[in-house]
A and B are shown apart, each in its own frame.
Chain A
């Protein structure tokens, strides 16, 4: 499997799409750092502004970057990267190199996950490194904050794995970049709808997406008590307490195992049994 991983990474680093997506990740991280910095500083003393600026910016960027970075950039690379193997017929080279189909499939999952998580880490690293330039906290102030950050990144790890499993299995099931990406977008939207419905019954899980971001910790650290209280009262982004963390962890792991695992198994099983073009 190590040969396959080496080959995938070699190809990846030679591929413009990878660098474009990574560049886009950095671009969005840059943009969100500026917007958060402005929003946090503009609303330090004004309740009205908090409502108008901070909430909107937090929410829009939570949706745009934190949640959807792995859901869009990582899989976008996968779709153009992996489906090309089928389109150009290069998947045959792997078969003819004496590689097992299961190894080819699992290597693709590992590489896709690394790309996906790398994009998230780039985003996180940027806001950590340059946040102070834009009026945000210069980092995590105490051990508890670091713990929260690592925990939330752990949850994000599991969620990313789920998205990647779905994306890679779709690449192998529907070896057409646009077709499989379309199905993936449909899946992501469907999942978002499902979250909304579940949140009506289990509001404890509603902050799943926002809390999965380590960068949110930086934002939270930058806020005044006034701002934090306001957000907790009026916006669905309360701080992470132990109970909520357990629930969110269970939820994230559960969905990753059930949804990601099902896709992963079905995609692998189908690939192992099917003829290649």
Chain B
């Protein structure tokens, strides 16, 4: 049974209300400003990649949104609700895994899920097969009858169980902080596929922070770049793709002439040392054709891709996330 307030929330999901809208959200601690007047909006169905170096404010932002920490100033709304009292009840629609999965290490997987079911008010979760269904969905089919306590689980199994716990109550928003931390390549791939499946099957909006930007770029539909507690950019995956196109590195018989021709044809080109770099190239053949037709000889050519990591480094400077 859902109350009128919850019904209103559920009804609003199909409408244009952003899932999350933050205005000048700030969190300061005695020794530092962890989040500095952050403003952003996240629409329904998005998978938002939260990117930033250590200490950029990613976890702080997640902690504020989940109610684990209290903002110093600023406001945020979830599904259009910003009143702190009403937000408490609304948190039922949000699931999160902050840093590490919050599991009772002395209980087995089934009992861990049961604690979450009890909290979410789900009746007869074992008899109805609800617990088993969640474990199966995250790829832990044997865990239902497994007597081992979670303390003895591998990191990958704990991450999966953490996600299964998060899925109890059918959340509308899933917030994951470093969900692939410490996993091997196979585990990372499995978690990625699971998240994509969740987004596709259940339409769950996601905020995912990760250090592995190459991995994030495989499923995020938009990005929020954070640096020193501030949002330096919020961009959609399609727009970002335009900015992170391939770079063509050439050596021609006359680089200066080639530069002039390319600039004349609206290419973003520059001379770097004794080579010519052409940025955001969709089709290398078009560039080559243009130069050859102009009577230039190409003595060397290679392509480099300017990926998300490179973009991030350019954006915030210094090391990668």
Q: Are A93 and B102 in contact, with the CB atoms below 8 A?
A: yes
Would you call B90 and A98 a contact (CB within 8 A)? yes
- Contact check, A99 vs B119: say whether CB atoms are below 8 A apart: yes
Tell me the complex Cα distance, A88–B106, Å: 10
Looking at B92, B100, B103, B118, the one whose CB has the most chain A CB atoms below 10 A away is: B118
A96 touches B104 (CB 8 A): no
**Given A95-B91, A97-B92, A98-B91; A10-B67 close (CB under 8 Å):** no
**Least Cβ–Cβ distance between B53 and chain A, in angstroms:** 21
Q: Which of B90-134 contact A (CB under 8 A)?
A: 90-92, 94-96, 98-100, 102-107, 111, 114-116, 118-121
Q: B interface, how many residues as a size bin?
A: 20 to 34
B-chain residues with CB within 8 Å of residue A93 when the two chains form the complex: 102, 115-116, 119, 165
In the bound assembly, the distance between CA atoms of A231 and B102 in angstroms comes to 56
Q: Which of A4, A11, A97, A273 contacts B104 (CB 8 A)?
A: A11
Say whether, besides A11-B115, A93-B165, A98 and B102 are in contact (CB < 8 Å): no
Known contacts A16-B106, A92-B96: A100-B88 contact under CB 8 Å: yes
Provide the bound-state CA to CA distance between A213 and B102, in Å.
41
Q: Is A97 a contact partner of B66 (Cβ separation < 8 A)?
A: no
| Cβ distance A220 to chain B, nearest Cβ, rounded Å | 43
Instruction: Kindly identify which residue among B68, B70, B111, B120 contacts A97, using a CB–CB cutoff of 8 Å.
Output: B120
Contact string against B for A residues 234-277, beta-carbon threshold 8 Å, 1 for contact and 0 otherwise: 00000000000000000000000000000000000000011110
Q: Complex formed: what's the CA distance from A99 to B95 in Å?
A: 13
Would A95 and B119 count as touching, CB distance under 8 A?
no
Report how far A63 CA is from B320 CA in the complex, Å: 62
A232 within 8 A of B: no
CA distance A91 to B115 in the complex (A): 12
Closest residue of chain B to A273 (Cβ to Cβ) is B70
Distance between Cα atoms of A232 and B130 in the complex (Å)? 64
In the complex, chain A residues whose CB is within 8 Å of the CB of B118: 3, 6-7, 10
Bound complex: CA of A97 vs CA of B115, how far in Å?
11
Which residues of B lie under 8 Å from residue A94 when comparing CB positions? 119
Q: Which of A6-56 contact B (CB under 8 A)?
A: 6-7, 10-11, 14-16
The A-contacting residues of B in range 22-73, CB under 8 angstroms, are 63, 66-70
Decide if A199 is an interface residue (CB 8 Å cutoff): no
Given the known interface contacts A6-B118, A11-B104, A11-B107, the answer about A95 and B70 at a Cβ–Cβ threshold of 8 Å is: no
A140 to B114, CA, bound (A): 44
Asked if A59 is an interface residue, CB under 8 A from chain B, the answer is no
- CB closest chain-B residue, reference A16: B106
Given A88-B103, A92-B102, A96-B94: A7 in contact with B66 (beta carbons within 8 A): no
Residue of A nearest to B69 (CB): A275
> Nearest residue in A to B115 (C-beta to C-beta)?
A7
B285 contacts partner chain A, Cβ-Cβ < 8 Å? no
Contact of A92 among B66, B92, B107, B120 (CB under 8 A): B66
Q: Is B89 an interface residue (CB 8 A)?
A: yes
Question: Interface residue count for A (Cβ, 8 Å)?
Answer: 27
Q: B92 near A14 (CB under 8 angstroms)?
A: no
Closest Cβ of chain A: how far from B122's Cβ, in Å?
Answer: 10
Residues of A near B107 (CB, < 8 A) are 11, 14
Q: Which residue from B89, B100, B106, B116 sits with its C-beta under 8 Å from A89?
A: B100
Tell whether A90 is near chain B: CB-to-CB under 8 Å: yes
Query: Quick one: which of A147-179 are within 8 Å of B by CB?
Result: none
Interface string of A71-94 (1 = CB under 8 A from B): 000000000000010001111111
Shortest Cβ distance from residue B119 to the other chain A in the assembled complex, whole angstroms: 4
Within the complex, the shortest CB–CB distance from B29 to chain A, in Å, comes to 9
Q: Which residue of A lies closest to B106 (CB)?
A: A15
Contact A276 B105 (CB under 8 A): no
Q: Is the CB of A275 within 8 A of B121?
A: no
Which residues of chain B have C-beta atoms less than 8 A from A4's C-beta?
119
B69 — which chain A residues lie within 8 A by C-beta?
Answer: 275-276
Q: Bound state CA distance, A91 and B165, in angstroms?
A: 14
Q: Kindly provide the distance from the CB of A46 to the nearest chain B CB, expressed in whole angstroms.
A: 52
Known contacts A14-B111, A94-B119, A276-B68; can you find 14 more A-B pairs with CB under 8 A?
A3-B119, A4-B119, A7-B118, A10-B115, A89-B99, A89-B100, A90-B104, A95-B68, A96-B92, A96-B95, A97-B120, A98-B90, A273-B70, A274-B70
- 24 pairs, CB–CB < 8 Å, chain A vs chain B: A3-B118, A3-B120, A3-B121, A4-B119, A7-B115, A7-B119, A10-B111, A11-B115, A88-B103, A90-B115, A92-B68, A92-B102, A93-B115, A93-B116, A94-B119, A95-B66, A95-B67, A95-B91, A97-B91, A97-B92, A97-B119, A98-B90, A99-B119, A276-B69
The 4 A-B residue pairs whose C-beta atoms are closest, nearest first, are A98-B92, A97-B119, A275-B69, A89-B102
Q: Which residues of B contact A (CB under 8 A)?
A: 63, 66-70, 88-92, 94-96, 98-100, 102-107, 111, 114-116, 118-121, 165, 169
